[in-house]
Structure 1
Amino acid sequence: MKIVKIVVCILFGLMFINAGLNKFFNYMPMPEMTADQMALMGAFVKISWLMPLIGAIEVIGGLLFALPKYRALGAIVILPVMVGIVFHNAIFDPSGLTIALPFFLINLWIIGDNWNKYKPMVSESKSY
């Protein structure tokens, strides 16, 4: 099971590194989009800092996720992006959920697997 987790996490991380780098270098072709999707993409382009920010988060989160020592941090860094991907697919392209939901579940699996590392951040602290 440990080997499966390592392979899954490396592939997950590489997928996000690739998606993030694509936001900077635009080397993957854009899929066909509906009018609603085109309008949304136009809004993203108008907010000139948004796509580079998401791309940077994807690259950093993907790198962290792929490295066992930093995987717990990477899972938290990637989580908001993953939530956005799931919501986007649920609203605009439900067929994309066949990819988005398994990746979201992988993200949740790694968060659950590392829950002890997060406990100090969410538990009540007595040292003020």
Structure 2
Amino acid sequence: MKIVKNILCVLFALMFINAGLDKFFHYMPVPPADEATTKLYEAIGTISWLMPLVGTVEVVGGLLFLFPKTRALAALIILPVMVGILVHTATFFPSGLLIVILMFVVLLWVIASNWNRYKILIN
């Protein structure tokens, strides 16, 4: 089970690193979007610091997620971004929801398996 978890975590981390780097270098193709989605992207684009911030969080979180020792911290860093991805995908691209839900499950699995580390933060 540990090997499966490590493989899933490495894949999860690589997806976040790739998504974060794309926010800086724009190398992945952008799928066609409807008018509402295009307006949303234009509005987000007016906040010049937002996408670099999200990209940085994705890259740093992804790099930390690669290593079991820092995975608990990475899960907390990535959680808000992952919730945003989940809501955005459910709203605008429901056809891609399966992969996002699978990624969210991996993230929740990591959080659950590190729960003892988080207890200090709660107490």
Aligned-pair CA distance for 1:98: 1.1
Tell me the alpha carbon deviations over residues 22-41 of structure 1, each in whole angstroms, 9 at most, x when there is no partner: 00000001011111110111
Q: Which has the larger radius of gyration?
A: 1
**TM-score, length basis structure 1:** 0.94
Match of 2:64 in 1: 64
Root-mean-square deviation over aligned CA pairs: 0.6
Where structure 1 has 5 or more consecutive residues not aligned to the other structure, the ranges are 124-128
TM-score for both structures, normalised by structure 2? 0.98
The letter for the 1-side match of 2:69 is K
Gaps in structure 2 of 5+ consecutive residues:
none
Question: What stretches of structure 1 move > 4 A for 4+ residues in a row?
Answer: none
Q: Secondary structure at the match of 1:13?
A: helix
| 1:12 paired to 2:21 | no
Aligned residues: 123
Distance in 2, matches of 1:105 and 1:6, equals: 14
User: Which of 1 and 2 has higher RCO (CA within 8 Å, sep 6+)?
Assistant: 2
Counterpart residue type for residue 76 of structure 1: L
Q: Could you tell me the percent identity over the aligned residues?
A: 58
Match runs of 1:14-33 below 5 Å: 14-33=14-33
Aligned counterparts of 2:108 and 2:50: Cα–Cα separation in 1: 25
Give 1:51's aligned amino acid.
M
Secondary structure of 2:97 counterpart: helix
- CA offsets 1:36-90 (integer angstroms, 9 cap, x no match): 1101110111000000000000000001111111000001100000000000011
Map residues 67-106 of structure 1 onto 2, 5 A cutoff.
67-106=67-106
